Amino acid sequence: MAKFSVSWCFSLLQIFGFLAIGSSAREEIGIYELKQGNLSVKLTNYGAHIISLVVPDKHGKLADVVLGYDTIKEYKNDSSSFGATVGRVGNRISGAQFTLNGTLYKLIANDGKNTLHGGPKGFSKVVWTVKKYRPEGQTPHVVFAYHSFDGEQGFPGDLRAIVVYKLLGDNKMSITMKAKALNKATPVNIINHAYWNLGGHDSGDILSEEIQIFGSHYTPVDAQLIPTGKVVTVKGTPYDFLRPRTVGRMFSKLAAGYDINYALDGSDEQKLKKAAIVHDKKSGRVMEISTNQPGVQFYTSNTLYQKGKGGFTYKPHAALCLETQGFPDSVNNPNFPSQIVNPGESYKHYMLFKFSNL
């Protein structure tokens, strides 16, 4: 009887995510498809990745508009974070360290001397537990959960995280990321890293796509792409997308392309605000992104050269990323919005994607 009780309690701990390492290590890797009308998305619990997202163009022709791979093995070897959920802290942390409540935390550097997307084995490189899965119906959705242990990649405290992908009708998809600090204060900035090409993942570059970004300020960076700590206006710079214009219009004034964080207009994190609108004129596809986060990273896949789905080779500027987020290196810039979650507190990152045609 005692043996049965111990086993039963152990199983409950696994189900509810209280085992930091074991539950993730033993979870099977699968692919989960959500379908509603003409919109379908495929996901995997390996790194909580978006594998594909298929939507119609203005003629009703369907195409997959996110870059990715054909096999899970390729995602395991991926260094581009195609469609990944990155964390515990997405984007860069300077010097791979930060001080919190008087304690210096040293992380694992994986981007020169800095930490990028949570370290070499961040949230995109672990197996998430599948808590719920409803492939069709009124609100198709899947819930992935992960228990990040104290000291994982150098970050303090146990953190319980979930990611919910949900289809909402009218070609809309939401992504909700939640986390709760269990025993220590910790920074949290969980980000979706999808690479978008509204012409189709294999249609070429995105330089002619039109984009509008609802941020009148941005955070300048140094040569290592670490923010300087300043927040400056976009007016009179190549970063001004307050009105729609093509992605490549100002490329001649940039070193390689865009890789910059915008401070979104509207400071209330409890309210949803527009982050960006992208329009591919050839296909007619439009994507509108809204979020509750203060920033969005605009990245034009400047150094990309990777064989992807169907053997197609993705080259520089084959896609754009619009990663809604807290500001990069916030832990080392006290004037940036805080990403610190104290024990018992919760973190929430909400994204809404609306797809349409013009």
Cα separation, 291 vs 269, whole angstroms? 8
* Phi, psi of 336, deg, nearest 5: -85, 155
pTM: 0.92
In which residue are the tokens 């990611």 written?
A: 163
Catalytic: 59? Answer: no
pLDDT of residue 27: 80
pLDDT of residue 271: 82
Which tokens go with 104? 């210096």
Which residues does 74 contact at the CB level (< 8 Å), separation at least 6? Answer: none
Whether 176 and 151 have beta carbons less than 8 Å apart is answered as no
Mean pLDDT estimate for the chain: 92
Q: What is the pLDDT of residues 2-18, one digit of tens each?
A: 333 333 333 333 333 33
Catalytic: 193? Answer: yes
The pLDDT of residue 172 is above 50: yes
Q: One of 201, 317, 323, 349 is an active-site residue; which one?
A: 323
pLDDT of residue 266: 86
Least confident interval from 16-20, 29-33, 90-94, 97-101: 16-20
The pLDDT of residue 200 is above 60: yes
Mean pLDDT of 338-350: 97
The DSSP result for 133-165, as a single string, is EE-SSSS-EEEEEEEEPTTGGG--S-EEEEEEE
Q: One of 141, 193, 279, 349 is an active-site residue; which one?
A: 193
Dihedral sign computed on CA atoms, order 280, 281, 283, 285: positive
Whether 30 and 24 have beta carbons less than 8 Å apart is answered as no
